[in-house]
Amino acid sequence: MRGSLAQGGDPQGPLEAKVVPLMDTPGKGSPRGSPCLGALVGNTGPVTPSESTQAKDPERRIFIGDIQGCREELERLLETLNIDTARDAVHPVGDLINRGPDSAGVLRILRELGAGGVLGNHDMHALRVRAGTRRSGKRDTLEDLFGAEDGAHLLDWLAARPFVRVWPDLVCVHAGIHPDWNDPLAVLQDLDPLTSHPHTDFATRVRTCDADGARPDEDWPPPGPPFRPWYSYWQEREEETRTVVYGHWASAGLVRKPRVRGLDTGCVWGKRLTAWIAEEDRCVHVDAARVYSASSLPPSDEAN
Ligand SMILES: [Mn+2]
């Protein structure tokens, strides 16, 4: 199953041709017992897979930068990665949707994969628009998702993402970790995406801050002292050994610095979609098919 998807020169061929049962019991039946990408595309059925469809002790933890509704690029990236849910765990680093062309399609694929991941500011925005507590923005591209037959299921799945995931060696968050948070999981784990809170606001929006975690009014132009990239404070923690993997800062591009991996490479702005395989400390990229939002990457990374 994996080989048929990964080796083909034309990614569209096997996607349309390959149809396998979606809800095979993991580990039984077909080799590796996992749905391949071909089964994920276009399916809108009422199946409710959970993260249990992913490997409990994955051989690879694969983090994917801001997808923002770029379904075509996500499909190509997953094919390039040779994703196998029996051995891989997939974690989008937030901003799964909005601004791009197919938010519903992205969520269908990730849900069927049993992906984990965390919430970003665009994800929270969409959940609040649906709840009626926030107005849609003029640059939103969420109507396909709100109008989809399975839209409610997809948004419920999205809403179940946490703000942070923690492993012994890694921390995953959309934007960054506050200088004062010694235990980011304890700080963020019980917070509601539908309710505004300074902690979730920070975790999903920060780029630069001062040593106390105060943020400037704007991150562009570079605010200068006392503001620095949030991760500089993380890097200064002498006892800390974990690497933070995050997104949100497209204008910074790919960041590979000690104990930080920044994966937002601006796919929706016509650049690239990036995955980072933690076990190999290796990045895999696919180019955006086109520019989906604005004519160029705004340096301010407009936060919606
Ligand atoms: Mn973001």
Output the CA 263–ligand 1 centroid distance in Å.
11
Output the CA 230–ligand 1 centroid distance in Å.
14
Provide the pLDDT for residue 55: 73
Output the CA 303–ligand 1 centroid distance in Å.
6
Output the CA 200–ligand 1 centroid distance in Å.
12
Output the CA 68–ligand 1 centroid distance in Å.
9
Output the CA 26–ligand 1 centroid distance in Å.
33
Output the CA 153–ligand 1 centroid distance in Å.
23
Q: Do the beta carbons of residue 89 and residue 277 sit within 8 Å?
A: no
Taking only the tens of pLDDT, the chain with its 304 residues reads 333 333 333 333 333 333 333 333 333 333 333 444 444 444 444 444 556 567 778 899 999 999 999 999 999 999 999 999 999 999 999 999 999 999 999 999 999 999 999 999 999 999 999 999 999 999 999 999 999 999 999 999 999 999 999 999 999 999 999 999 999 999 999 999 999 999 999 999 999 999 999 999 999 888 999 999 999 999 999 999 999 999 999 999 999 999 999 999 999 999 999 999 999 999 999 999 999 987 445 554 444 4
Q: Round to whole Å and give the CA distance between 85 and 78.
A: 11
Give me the phi and psi of 16, to 5 degrees please: -85, -30
Q: Do the beta carbons of residue 59 and residue 274 sit within 8 Å?
A: no
Output the CA 257–ligand 1 centroid distance in Å.
20
Output the CA 41–ligand 1 centroid distance in Å.
25
Give me the phi and psi of 250, to 5 degrees please: -65, -35
Output the CA 207–ligand 1 centroid distance in Å.
10
Provide the pLDDT for residue 41: 44
Provide the pLDDT for residue 169: 98
Q: Quick count: other Cβ atoms within 10 Å of Cβ 185?
A: 14
* Identity at 290, one-letter amino acid code: R
Q: Which fold has domain 5-20+33-301?
A: Purple Acid Phosphatase; chain A, domain 2 (3.60.21)
Provide the pLDDT for residue 43: 43
Q: Do the beta carbons of residue 65 and residue 265 sit within 8 Å?
A: yes
Q: Report the 3 state secondary structure along the chain.
A: CHHHHHCCCCCHHHHHHCCCCCCCCCCCCCHHHCCCHHHHCCCCCCCCCCHHHCCCCCCEEEEECCCCCCHHHHHHHHHHHCCCCCCEEEEECCCCCCCCCCHHHHHHHHHHHCCCCCCCHHHHHHHHHHHCCCCCCCCCCCHHHHHCCCHHHHHHHHHCCCCEEECCCEEEECCCCCCCCCCHHHHHCCCCCCCCCHHHHHHHHCCEECCCCCCCCCCCCCCCCCCEEHHHHHHCCCCCCCEEEECCCHHHCCEEECCEEECCCCHHHCCEEEEEEHHHCEEEEEECCCCCCCCCCCCCCCCC
Q: Do the beta carbons of residue 272 and residue 193 sit within 8 Å?
A: no
Q: Where are the domains of the chain?
A: 5-20+33-301
Output the CA 14–ligand 1 centroid distance in Å.
32
Provide the pLDDT for residue 52: 59
Output the CA 142–ligand 1 centroid distance in Å.
15
Output the CA 203–ligand 1 centroid distance in Å.
10
Provide the pLDDT for residue 298: 52
Output the CA 8–ligand 1 centroid distance in Å.
33
Output the CA 164–ligand 1 centroid distance in Å.
14
Output the CA 65–ligand 1 centroid distance in Å.
10
